[in-house]
Amino acid sequence: MRRPFIAGNWKMNLDRAAAVDLARELIKQLGDADAVDVAVCPPSVYLDAVADVVKGTCVGLGAQNMYYEKNGAFTGEISGSMLADVGCKYVILGHSERRRILGETNEDVCRKVHVAFATGLIPIVCVGETLQEREAGKTFHIVREQVYGSLAGLKAEQAGELVIAYEPVWAIGTGVVASPEQAEEVHADLRNALEARFGGVLAAKLRLQYGGSVKASNAKELLAKENIDGALVGGAALKASDFVPIIEAARP
């Protein structure tokens, strides 16, 4: 049985004091959270502060992005080794906002995935279609294209800890959520795509998250689906009172 994994993407929100307070409140409310893996992904400038709070607790630390070079003259970028150095376990890669706003390609994401594994980080690789692509019947094609492109050249033995987050672009931050049936349909096809790429044993092991306006009111129904193993949560991760019920909904 795949262990549920709930991650909070704080995006470009909060200040230092609020980030620290949120991390402390999460730990206080969660207790041991022994049946669910939990992570928070603060803005990079607050990673160090939040790392001090979550160290040794049930809450893991993740970053929202990284660069694909180890070091060098890349002003404004952050390397995987730097993230590992401040205590990160996870890194979100290929989020639709970075693909759409900043022009990241599957090739960019793929380079980052390889470097993440090389530096001991677990990548949370995001895939998902736009509303126009869904209406054109291209959902499965787009998601598979992103998965295959973002994981190109990755060996099965490397991919054991990989996490994939399906986030339909039309549901991110809009208040619109894919129905549990719509989400499960894509997750099932995604697992089939992973089986074709890495084999059935690994595909059955890899965790697939859903993201896109996840909240306490819809989490239980989404997480009950066979191929949905967790959630990548945006807005609802910014308050412990909203985020903790989603984590509770993931408990087996």
Residues with catalytic function: 95, 167
Q: How many CB atoms lie within 10 A of CB 164?
A: 27
Nearest to 209 by CA among 165, 168, 143, 147: 165
Hey, is 46 helix, strand or coil?
helix
Residue 108 and residue 104: Cα distance in Å, rounded?
6
Q: Which residue has the tokens 């991110």?
A: 172
Whole-angstrom distance, CA of residue 47 vs CA of residue 60: 11
* DSSP alpha helix (H) spans, 55-179: 80-85, 96-101, 106-118, 131-135, 139-150
- Residue 105 near residue 137 (C-beta atoms within 8 A): no
Q: Which of 54, 162, 181, 75 has its CA nearest to residue 112?
A: 162
Q: How far apart are CA 172 and CA 149, in angstroms?
A: 22
